[in-house]
Amino acid sequence: MSSKSGQSIIELLIAIGVFVLMASAALLLFFGGQSLSIDSSNAQQALDYASEGQEAVRSIAHRDWDGLVNGEYGLIYQNGQWEFSGSSNIKELFTRTIFIDDVDPNTKRASTTVTWQLSPAHIQNIELVQYLTQWENPLVGGCKTDPISGDWYNPVVLGSINLGPGNEGTDVVADLPYVYMSAEASAANKPDVFVVDVSDVSNPQVIRSVDIGASGVNSIYLNGDFLYAASGNNGREFIVFDVSNPPNMIDVASINLSGQEDAISIRGVEDTVYVGRVSGSDKELAVIDVSDPLNPSVATSFEIGGDVNSLMTTSHKLYVTTDIPDKDVWIYDIENPNAPVLLDIYDLPVGGEIIGIGLRLPGDILAGGTNELWVLGATTTDQIYVRSSLEIGGASNDVACVADNLAFLATNNSTKEFLIVDISNPDDIKEVASFNFPQIGTGMDFAENKVFLSVRSNDALRIIGPGP
């Protein structure tokens, strides 16, 4: 009996031990799950707190650009508006800090960092970054101020991509590492807008394409998370794409403008987009309110009487180029973007028309004519004059310029579809380099010391950089 009693005690102790181990494991599992749930909740609260900071900084920038002084800040909401206050904010276990610094004279980088600490060894953070542009500066909309380097007198083709048979490139916008391209397809069921990943410029890849129906897209304009398109589709001359997630770009809205004529040019400022159409439409210049991009509306429209070849905007001015012989450049005041006021119309001293247009700081218009590139002094818009010109042997379909140094042209010259012009002396501009591509250049953009050129051929994107 003594032996059996001892055995029973041992079995009881083993059972109690197993129970304690199982209970401990259950408690660890329960509280571990609770910890994961708390961490997830904290991360979401931190993200919301950071997003609020980003919205606050945007409102400050819009109200008072000069208030964006480089440094570290906290935020306070008072008298119905956000203001900088102190060097950070603390809300429960979260600390939020705003960092402001320069990108270029008209652009600021604003980052919002939120940190929280659950234990001395467990510190977490979330950072959101945005880039803000000085809309109030009348020179915004001019030449790119990206750093430029290398030998642009001896450019090289870094890469290209084929959009497939029957697709011809019409325009391009860079928002690296992505490039957005528009195209005119040979059939209604072919895609018309593309997202290209150019993180490897030697091997760009189409990661998304969208078919808008018949007639393709002629020109595109990017603002934030939305890409706006001028289309030849008779029922959808104006189209909005959500590109907040570029690999999943989606068509979210459109407007059927009056008449049947194609939309061929597009540009915008803040919450307004301007659309130019070919001659014969009821009103060739449409002003679109996109304060709600998912529900755009026509604010007003204007009769031009000719093709609106291209558009360019600054914060205060809208420049419209046409094919009307004695009305080459129309200049509007857009202090109220939805209600442009015509200031002046300029006629080139020679025949022809202006196709592409750019703005060289501090106020010279780069006007791409049917055979020449013109530099027009336009600091005072009612006294525009010719500073110089350069024979280029074809029409300049698009113009992009970098700082005060170079202009890049997409042309229909059969031997110089891509052209580089030295504009450092606006009174004596000079051709410095060119490329001969199989078809005409239609549009271009410049970013991170590279040119992205759309070409009217299947091999529709050419990426060009400086020589070593």
Residue type present at position 366: L
d(CA 254, CA 256): 7
**Closest C-alpha to 358, from 446, 227, 431, 425:** 446
Determine contact, residues 327/306, Cβ cutoff 8 Å.
Answer: yes
Mean pLDDT, range 82-111, rounded to an integer:
87
Determine contact, residues 405/449, Cβ cutoff 8 Å.
Answer: no
Mean pLDDT, range 441-463, rounded to an integer:
90
**Closest C-alpha to 169, from 205, 220, 212, 238:** 220
Mean pLDDT, range 32-50, rounded to an integer:
73
Tokens in use for 307? Answer: 């093709």
Count Cβ atoms below 10 Å from residue 104 Cβ, excluding itself: 14
Residue 199 has pLDDT above 50, yes or no: yes
The band of 21, judged by pLDDT with boundaries at 50, 70 and 90, is low
pLDDT in tens, 343-355: 889 888 877 777 8
pLDDT in tens, 213-271: 878 899 999 998 999 999 998 889 999 999 999 999 999 999 999 888 999 999 998 89
Q: What are the Cα distances from residue 439, in Å, to 38, 170, 257, 265?
A: 59, 11, 31, 20
Q: What pLDDT score was predicted for residue 301?
A: 94
Q: What pLDDT score was predicted for residue 12?
A: 59
pLDDT in tens, 46-74: 899 998 998 899 888 877 878 889 999 99
Tokens in use for 332? Answer: 């509007």
Residue with tokens 């408690």: 27
- Sign for the CA dihedral angle at 448, 454, 458, 462 comes to negative
Mean pLDDT, range 329-338, rounded to an integer:
90
The band of 463, judged by pLDDT with boundaries at 50, 70 and 90, is very high
Q: What pLDDT score was predicted for residue 133?
A: 65
Determine contact, residues 356/374, Cβ cutoff 8 Å.
Answer: no
Q: What pLDDT score was predicted for residue 295?
A: 96
d(CA 418, CA 455): 10
Q: How far is CA 36 from the centre of its chain?
A: 38
Q: What pLDDT score was predicted for residue 121?
A: 72
